[in-house]
Amino acid sequence: MSDPKIEGYEFKPGFKGMAQDTGSDQTMFKGVHWGKAMMWIFLLSDTFIFSCFLISYMKGRGSTLIDWPNTSEVFSLHVGSTPVPLLLIAIMTFVLITSSGTMALAVKYGYEKNRKMCGWLILATAIGGLTFVGMQAFEWSKLIHEGVRPWENPFGAKQFGSFFFMITGFHGTHVSIGVIFLFIYAYKTFKGHYDEEKRGWFTTMKGDYVEIEILGLYWHFVDLVWVFIFAFFYLW
Amino acid sequence: MSSMSEKEQSTTHKIGIYLWIWGLLFVLSFFSYMVDWYQFQGLLRWSLILLFMFLKAGLIMAFFMHLFWERYALVNVLLWPMTAIGCFVFLMVAEFQYTVFTRLFYFVVGGQ
């Protein structure tokens, strides 16, 4: 990942490199693109936000004396006349993992300067994300139709609704923002902005395929959060 | 130019590794769905859920987010703060147990 623009700087791997990094002059992570370092810092702070949501959910669910709604029944879909537990959620999980895979490949092809392949894969990722948001909208409207509100629901403990809308809503917002950026980046890739080192809209930074990796980090993080939501909220 | 070729070597990996991780994520997701499908309960249920969850999270972070190939300084900056989240979880577990206790004590038993 090193961008060797700092002269005379030699990166050492392992703990030696870590000591050199943390004790280095002026800047840490020398040679790393600033956008990438900042994306990691942002994702770290986002991790804390999502952790706070999930921990408050754990606390709320743990401290209620009324039974928590049975998620595998609440989130079941009817295929014909038989209810299939968590069907929609399972499909959403697979869609998001698929889009994460295409994003990882887009990053790889980006670094290989394979413009077309990179662009198509970003577009595929965006469409996957859009499908996910669409299914989430369907899930929300279904539950709202069944009478789930942030303050009450017909299935059990009243806290269920508020945690559900808060956590999945915040995650869905992240996905939506990601989808918007994926479409923009797909456009920029197809246009060849990263090959021509064209500057961005609000920056003097030269375009580079490292931007695809930064976007990829965000997208994988969205997938990562879903892994935790899927485990704690839907399966628990 | 020599530095450029080094750069590319350090940033691209064979396509096989991504496809493998992708496949593994599918399989692990399928397994965690099966935990619900077969309605495992109790200790077995949540140990399996946690196992699959951490495996998936680990694979995504290590390979899709390239953390496995990243410098140690970054890995440490990202992973050590997670211990704070772990502490917070422990604190809140103690807290909800106490809340349940007081609710049972005052609402059900009547505080006698």
Express each pLDDT in B8-57 by its tens digit. Answer: 444 578 888 999 999 999 999 999 999 888 888 888 988 999 999 999 99
Angle between helices A159-191 and A115-145 (to 10 degrees): 160
Asked if B1 reaches chain A (Cβ–Cβ under 8 Å), the answer is: no
Q: Kindly give the residue spans of alpha helices, DSSP state H, lying in chain A.
A: 14-22, 34-63, 71-74, 87-111, 115-145, 159-191, 210-229
Cα B112 to Cα B106: distance, rounded to the nearest angstrom = 8
List, for residues A92-122, the tens digit of each pLDDT value. Answer: 999 999 999 999 999 999 989 999 999 999 9
How many inter-chain contacts (A to B, CB under 8 Å) are there? 157
Cα A92 to Cα A132: distance, rounded to the nearest angstrom = 6
Name the residue facing B57 among A44, A59, A224 (closest C-beta). A224
pLDDT at A87 over 70: yes
Cα A11 to Cα A20: distance, rounded to the nearest angstrom = 8
- pTM of the model as a whole: 0.90
Closest-approach residue (CA) in chain B for A20? B73
Residue A58 and residue B93: Cβ atoms within 8 Å? Answer: yes
Q: In chain B, what residues touch A48 (CB-CB under 8 Å)? A: 81, 85
Per-residue confidence band for B112, with pLDDT thresholds at 50, 70 and 90: low
Angle, CA of A43, A3 and A114, to the nearest 5°: 85
Q: In chain A, what residues touch B59 (CB-CB under 8 Å)? A: none
* Per-residue model confidence (pLDDT) at position B7: 46
In Å, how far is B111's CA from the nearest CA of chain A? Answer: 16
Per-residue confidence band for B1, with pLDDT thresholds at 50, 70 and 90: very low
Residue A28 and residue B39: Cβ atoms within 8 Å? Answer: no
What average pLDDT does the segment A55-71 reach? 92
- Window 157-216 of A: residues touching B by CB (8 A cutoff) are 213, 216
Residue B29 and residue A18: Cβ atoms within 8 Å? Answer: no
Helices vs strands, H then E, count in chain B: 5, 0
- Residues ≥6 apart with Cβ < 8 Å to B109: none
Cα A166 to Cα B93: distance, rounded to the nearest angstrom = 21
Domains of chain A: 68-235 (1.20.120.80)
Name the residue facing B33 among A15, A86, A112 (closest C-beta). A86
Which tokens sit at A180? 């918007």
Which tokens sit at A70? 């049975």
Asked if B48 reaches chain A (Cβ–Cβ under 8 Å), the answer is: no
Closest-approach residue (CA) in chain B for A99? B22
Integer angstrom CA distances of residue A37 from A27, A208, B74: 11, 15, 9
- With DSSP H G I counted as helix, E B as strand and the rest as coil, what are the percentages for chain A, rounded to 5? 65, 5, 30
Give me the interface pTM, i.e. the ipTM.
0.87
Given a contact cutoff of 8 angstroms between Cβ atoms, the answer to whether A188 and A68 are in contact is: no
Residue A86 and residue B60: Cβ atoms within 8 Å? Answer: no
Per-residue confidence band for A6, with pLDDT thresholds at 50, 70 and 90: low
Given a contact cutoff of 8 angstroms between Cβ atoms, the answer to whether A2 and A11 are in contact is: yes
Cα A219 from chain centre: 4
Name the residue facing B71 among A17, A93, A217 (closest C-beta). A17
Closest-approach residue (CA) in chain A for B67? A217
Mean pLDDT (chain A) is 89
Secondary structure class of A86 (helix, strand, coil): coil
Integer angstrom CA distances of residue A195 from A33, A227, B50: 17, 34, 43
Closest residue by Cα to residue A138 from A88, A178, A72: A88
Amino acid making up residue B78? L
Closest-approach residue (CA) in chain B for A56? B92
**Best residue of B2, B15, B33 to probe chain A, by most A CBs closer than 10 Å:** B33
In Å, how far is A220's CA from the nearest CA of chain B? Answer: 7
Name the residue facing B73 among A28, A63, A85 (closest C-beta). A28
Query: φ and ψ at A83, to 5 degrees?
Result: -75, 130
